[in-house]
Structure 1
Amino acid sequence: MDRRSDAYSTHGWRQAFIDRCKDLAPVETAVVHPCDAATLEAVMEAARLGLILPVLVGPEGKIRAAAAAAGADISPFRLVNTPHSHAAAARAVALVRAGEVRMLMKGALHTDELMREVLARDTGLRTARKVSHVYLMDVPRYPRPLMITDAAINIAPDLDDKKDIVQNAVDLAHVLGMDEPRVAILSAVETVNSRLQSTVDAAALCKMSDRGQITGALLDGPLGFDNAVSPAAAADKGIASTVAGRADILVVPDLVSGNLLAKQLTFLAGADAAGVVVGARTPIVLTSRADSEPARIASCAVAVLMAQATISAGPAIGA
């Protein structure tokens, strides 16, 4: 069940991501350890919508038991039997490397189990970039889609990590049709303070953008959350910026602050959310066990758009 109260009204951008996939071919997707009803229900719906061609990877007995509990007919789908969740993660990554699937979707296993195989140096899906996570939020009181990164993978990113985290999010924004996204580098204050490393990192990231080390976006920071999303708050602080008050992407200082922010927007502000892992050789749908089915479906749609990135991204959503 979607936890958003009926008192909140979002803008429908999550559905817009799904609608963008209607003319695209479904993407072969390894669903890793789909041994719970919630995962299989989302898989069935994503397949019905033509988003994915599922390959179910995990212990066959547990998958069939979960399918029976969910009333799901998995007979049309390929099933790759493995003894346990660790082996399922390794086999799913191997399927990507062999070219048999083009996406991964997390099922009923810990994120660490899946990401350990994704990040394995010799057998994983690493690229030159740091792998990171992006939440896409449809917040009722915010007039455009809002991306938050990184709230799920990198615990305490350093400056080099943040450079990749920013570029990953910018590249995803381009896929979604945002030609020059506005990126706010968040901290607790708006001025650079040598004792607050997040402000120093923010200033350095902005200079990296000036020098072409980060491309395709407008950056500003350090910015507080209030003056990143509120024109009035930015004006009150005397901040003149093309980003302040109108951010498309929020780059948080660390995983804890990002995770808290994303969940507060979801559970207290009625936001719709979707989440994907970027920076690997393939998109990864990485959802929480607490996520609703619509959130899982929207995450699939965003990952499909990433996988089909050679196709025109189309008009910007929420421009």
Structure 2
Amino acid sequence: MPKTIQDLIELAKNKPQKRLVVAVANDPYVLKAVEHARQVLNIKPILVGDEIAITHELQALHYDIKAYQIVDEPNGVLACKQAAYMIRQGEGDILMKGLIDTSILLKAVLDKEFGIRGPRRLSHITLLELKHYHKLLLLSDAAMNIAPDVELKKEIILNGVEVLHKIGIEKPNVGVIAAVEKVNPKMVATTDAQALIESHTDVSYQIGGPFGLDNAINKEAALHKGVNDPMAGEVDFLLMPAIEAGNILYKALMFLSDAKSASVVCGATHPIVLTSRADSDETKFNSIALAALL
């Protein structure tokens, strides 16, 4: 079972070669991560977009252009469709966002003719390595689903649990996060937690809550507050109540706590690397490594 992001990278190194299709690939920050993945992770990069612009960026970075397959499509919208369609046709294994708005790429992903729509709703997950937590922690949803209801939260849980299973966590603990630990009819996050727990029948994971963040990840805090759930302090998966909570927590951990992370979008037929422009080259590389394991 991996305990660190480096453990994930080591696991990814031993996987068969994966073909990474980058949509609108003329982004130097993305290309730095892709080149790193090519050298370390046995990744075959396929760059879709304006060939002249992509070649210019590769030359500016002093990368070997011959190491890359370039698919020329200067129109960004069409490049996204082309990249998604290549995955759909079995010509690629992982889709990655380049220099294009997220909404445009996701529209291509969900296109019924060209896309890679899966059986569940798309959701964003982040695996975090934290200095003050004893194992990797999955956070969802920090980037896509704004105010998920109970049914959507069930799909977000299944997406995240699937990721945890694939990295070796057999029966993950899912903690439903709220501002308080008791069900309060005026706080939707707590009533959602109650509904999720009452309807839970899937033996592939355990679920508990509502948890405040402190008692989800800290056993001592849970004991002080009288939270007796055995999952307290041992959560593998933080199910956040809404996008604001997930996004703020993610950014606070990354920018104030020196966390390491890897993020993907789940729910499509293939993993999607969709990182923020503010994410470091290292985070983008880590995300490719995670996708290679999925």
Letter of the 1:275 partner, please give it.
Answer: S
Shift of 1:51: 3.6
Helix, strand or coil at the partner of 1:143: coil
Could you tell me how far 1:215 is from its partner in structure 2?
4.2
Q: How does 1:278-297 map to 2 (within 5 A)?
A: 278-297=266-285
Q: Are positions 1:110 and 2:98 aligned together?
A: no
Is the contact made by 1:32 and 1:105 (CA closer than 8 Å) also made in structure 2? Answer: yes
CA displacement 1:7-46 (0-9 Å, x = unmatched): xxxx971111110122211201111111121111111110
**Per-residue CA distance 1:92-134 (angstroms, 9 max, x = gap):** 1110111111110111212111111112244321222111111
Asked if the contact 1:40–1:72 (Cα under 8 Å) also holds between the matched residues in 2, the reply is no
In 1, Cα distance between the equivalents of 2:179 and 2:41?
43
Aligned residue for 1:135, secondary structure, equals strand
Q: Give the drift of 1:265.
A: 0.8
TM-score (norm 1): 0.89
* Residue of structure 2 equivalent to 1:186: 177
> Structure 2: 5+ residue runs without aligned partners?
none
CA contact (8 A) 2:218 2:233 kept: yes
The one-letter code sitting in structure 1 at the alignment partner of 2:155 is D
* 1:230 pairs with 2:218: yes
Pick from 203, 208, 215: which aligns with 1:220?
A: 208
Alpha-carbon distance in 1 for matches of 2:223, 2:31 = 48
Match runs of 1:14-93 below 5 Å = 14-93=5-84
Q: Is the 8 A contact 1:227 1:234 kept in 2?
A: yes
Does 119-128 or 103-112 show the bigger shift? 119-128
* 2: CA distance, partners of 1:34 / 1:188: 40
Equivalence for 2:232 = 244
C-alpha displacement of 1:208: 2.2
Q: TM-score, normalised by structure 2?
A: 0.96
Structure 2 distance, partners of 1:37, 1:283, is 22
Q: CA RMSD in A?
A: 1.4
CA offsets 1:201-230 (integer angstroms, 9 cap, x no match): 111111222xx2x44111101111111111
State how many pairs are aligned: 293
CA distance in structure 1 between the partners assigned to 2:207 and 2:136 by the alignment: 17
TM superposition outliers: structure 1 runs of 4+ over 4 Å: none
Q: Deviations over 1:124-174 (max 9, x none)?
A: 212221111110100111111011001111111111110000111111101
State how far apart, in whole Å, the 1-side matches of 2:259 and 2:67 are.
34
Deviation at residue 76 of structure 1 after TM alignment:
2.1
CA distance in 2, matches of 1:29, 1:118: 15
**1:12–1:219 Cα change, 3 Å:** closer
The whole-number CA distance in structure 1 between the counterparts of 2:121 and 2:128 is: 22
Q: Which amino acid aligns with 1:225?
A: L
1:159 paired residue number? 150
Are 2:59 and 2:65, in contact at CA under 8 Å, matched by a contact in 1? Answer: no
Which residue matches 1:270? 258
SS of 2:222's partner is helix
3-state DSSP of counterpart to 1:246: coil
1:203 paired to 2:194: yes
The amino acid that maps onto 1:100 is E
Cα distance, 1:83–1:96 mapped onto 2, change above 3 Å = same
Q: Cα 1:34–1:12, aligned 2, differ >3 Å: closer, same or farther?
A: farther
Q: Which residue identity does 2:193 align to in structure 1?
A: A
Amino acid in the other structure paired with 2:179: A
Paired with 1:113 and 1:237, the residues of 2 have a C-alpha distance of 45
1:245-281: per-residue Cα shift (whole Å, max 9, x none)?
1111000011111011011111111110110111110
Which residue is equivalent to 2:130? 139
Unmatched runs of 5 consecutive residues or more in structure 1 = 1-10, 307-319
Q: Is the 8 A contact 1:229 1:247 kept in 2?
A: yes
Q: Measure, in 2, the Cα distance between the counterparts of 1:83 and 1:292.
A: 26
The one-letter amino acid of 1:23's match is N
CA deviations 1:274-294 (Å, max 9, x no partner) are: 101111100111111121222
Is the 2:176–2:207 Cα contact (8 Å) retained in structure 1?
yes
Cα distance in structure 2, aligned partners of 1:200 and 1:122: 39
Alpha-carbon distance between aligned partners in 1 of 2:112 and 2:155, rounded to the nearest angstrom: 18
